[in-house]
Amino acid sequence: MADNKGVMIFAEVIDGKLTAVAKELLGAGRKLANDLKEELSALVAGSGVGNIAAEAISFGADKVYVVDALLLKDYRTDAYVAVLEKVIKQANPRIVLMGQTTIGRDLAPRAAFRLATAAVLDCIALEIDAATKQLLMTKPVYGGNARAIYTMETLPQIATVRAKAMAALEPDGARKGQVIALDAGLDPAAIKTTVLQKVVHEAEGTKLEDAAVVVAGGRGIGGPEGFKQLEELAKVLKGAVGATRPPCDAGWVPDTIQIGLTGKIVSPYVYIAVAISGASQHMAGCSGSKNIIAINRDAEAQIFKEARFGVVGDWKKIIPAFEAKIKELQTK
């Protein structure tokens, strides 16, 4: 296995475009490949994805493997693991990176085990150990209360990377790269799952992951009515509403706006945390925010340790007054 070379990223495609995470992986992979003085390749798999290769090259790939097959239209574990196994055996990379996404967290461990290696999920930092050329993978553990740096001796080293933890490069249309089309060679009988339906909750207004301002509510909001008030404030600030897990579990708001370790990762310019205690599992999803503002009636709440500005008091009094003042200042 000593001849493993280069970094490969698994590039996810949605609606015919590279996902934001795929671009971040290309940025991260480029840096690792440069440190190793080796090549960066991307694997694009799906149905009708052939035209993604050029985009992947513009974001940093030297080589793009394209596996285009009708059987890959929906993500199904069996099919994608088989593709990954085939391409990795052929390309023989030293490192394989995927996004910590619905697909990546399902695919990485299983593909790793099939290839007799291992994976580390949800990494927030990656570094090459200069002496051993091994990848050092930093990952939050204990819900973010601690961090572990892992490595492994088996190759390829496989990691999934948390959204927004790495930076994409500026696309460069002049960049040259090689495109290699590979046959999926799939056996339909070996694919045991069928996707019957996809249900997407369309959020109105600004998308949570892209919003510059996020107004997030916690258990202390007390019910769905309170979230209506937060929505109003978010509208005034041209932002989006998020939540901790308890309001989602209680059905006050849809599960899709949960922020945290097992929810969405956001990094807005301003994150207004209302009646949120600041548990590490929640902060895992928002600690990349540039400015955290905390409103909580408990002066000892953990959230004040992470915030830049805070008010200690009852949100029911604070939020309406805050909104009124912002509106007043906006009209000036």
Ligand X SMILES: Cc1cc2nc3c(=O)[nH]c(=O)nc-3n(C[C@H](O)[C@H](O)[C@H](O)COP(=O)(O)OP(=O)(O)OC[C@H]3O[C@@H](n4cnc5c(N)ncnc54)[C@H](O)[C@@H]3O)c2cc1C
Residue 234: C-alpha distances to residues 2, 110, 205, 244, 288 (Å): 54, 40, 10, 16, 19
Site for ligand X in 216-245 (CB under 6 A): 218-220, 244-245
2 binds, among ligand X, other proteins, none (CB under 5 to 8 A by kind): none
Between 157 and 258, CB nearer to ligand X: 258
Size of the site for ligand X (CB under 6 A): 27
Region of 33-41, 43-51, 220-228, 289-297 interacting with other proteins (CB under 8 A): 289-297
> Residue 102 — φ and ψ, nearest 5°?
-50, -45
Tokens of 5: 């070379």
The SS3 call for residue 111 is: helix
Is 288 near ligand X (CB under 6 A)? no
Collect all residues with Cβ–Cβ distance below 8 Å to 196 and sequence separation of at least 6.
Answer: none
CA–chain centroid gap for 31, Å, is 19
Q: Count of residues for the chain?
A: 332
Is 164 near ligand X (CB under 6 A)? no
Between 176 and 197, CB nearer to other proteins: 197
Give the Cβ contact number of residue 141 at 10 Å.
Answer: 11
Is 140 near ligand X (CB under 6 A)? no
Cross-strand bridge partners of residue 261: none
Shortest Cβ 301–ligand X spacing (Å): 4
Which residue lies nearest ligand X, judged by its C-beta?
Answer: 260
Is 144 near ligand X (CB under 6 A)? no
Report which of 185, 136, 182 is spatially closest to residue 43, judged by C-alpha positions. 182
Contact 155, 1 (CB under 8 A): yes
Cross-strand bridge partners of residue 45: 67
Tokens of 76: 């199904």
The SS3 call for residue 280 is: helix
Between 177 and 220, CB nearer to ligand X: 220
- Pick one of 147, 172, 178, 298: the residue that binds other proteins (CB under 8 A): 147
145 vs 227: CA distance, rounded Å: 28
Is 58 near ligand X (CB under 6 A)? no
Is 315 near ligand X (CB under 6 A)? yes
Site for other proteins in 176-195 (CB under 8 A): 192-195
Between 178 and 224, CB nearer to other proteins: 224
Site for other proteins in 296-325 (CB under 8 A): 299, 302, 304-314, 317-322, 324-325
Between 61 and 273, CB nearer to ligand X: 273
Binding site for ligand X (CB under 6 A): 143, 218-220, 244-246, 258-263, 275-277, 279, 281-282, 285, 296-298, 301, 314-316
